[in-house]
């Protein structure tokens, strides 16, 4: 189980290959692929099964750039991405919403890797520029 077998495990390979991608090819990411990625993200576990996480898909260039400008550093790749998936959570009555959002975000990164889509986590919470 923990020897060579892991190298034939698709999930192991996916996790091993995934890397943050910050330079994009300009190739369009189809709505179908975005939908498949979100279907996987929706399967992420959440505290008490409350599923407080919501996703907002942004394709509009001005809006993506506006989101990128929300923080001073570290959002560099965002304006060049074809699509942004904003991961949000309903914080009311859900103490572990940060963890829930982080798990869902991780599912998104792995799903993107599986569909051959370069992706990078851009952290926003508590990083907004004044």
Ligand X SMILES: Cc1cc2nc3c(=O)[nH]c(=O)nc-3n(C[C@H](O)[C@H](O)[C@H](O)COP(=O)(O)O)c2cc1C
Among residues 78 and 94, whose Cβ is nearest to ligand X? 78
Q: Which residues bind ligand X (CB under 6 A)?
A: 19-20, 22, 74, 77, 120-123
Tokens at 101, concatenated: 């959002």
Q: Which is nearer to ligand X, 59 or 74 (CB)?
A: 74
Residues with Cβ within 8 Å of residue 72, at least 6 apart in sequence: 127, 129
Nearer to ligand X, 46 or 113 (CB): 113
Rg of the chain on CA atoms, in Å: 16
In the complex, what is the shortest distance from the CB of residue 103 to ligand X, in angstroms, rounded to a whole number?
11
CB of 123 to ligand X, least distance (A): 3
By three-state DSSP, how is residue 68 classified? helix
CA dihedral angle for residue 30, residue 57, residue 54, residue 97, rounded to 10 degrees: 100
Min dist. Cβ of residue 32 to ligand X (A): 25
Smallest distance, ligand X to C-beta of residue 41, A: 15
Residue 6 vs 30, nearer CB to ligand X: 6
User: Among 85, 68, 77, 59, which residue's Cα sits nearest to residue 23?
Assistant: 77
């Amino acid at each position: 189980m923990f020897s060579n077998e892991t190298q034939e495990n698709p999930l192991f390979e996916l996790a091993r290959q995934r890397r943050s991608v910050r330079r994009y090819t300009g190739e369009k990411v189809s709505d179908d692929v975005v939908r498949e990625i979100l279907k996987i993200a929706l399967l992420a576990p959440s505290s008490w099964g409350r599923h407080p996480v919501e996703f907002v898909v942004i394709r509009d260039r001005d809006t993506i750039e506006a989101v990128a400008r929300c923080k001073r550093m570290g959002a560099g790749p965002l304006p060049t991405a074809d699509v942004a998936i904003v991961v949000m959570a309903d914080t009311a009555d859900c103490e572990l919403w940060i963890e829930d959002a982080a798990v869902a975000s991780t599912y998104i990164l792995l799903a993107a890797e599986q569909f051959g889509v370069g992706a990078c986590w851009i952290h926003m919470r508590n990083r907004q520029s004044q």
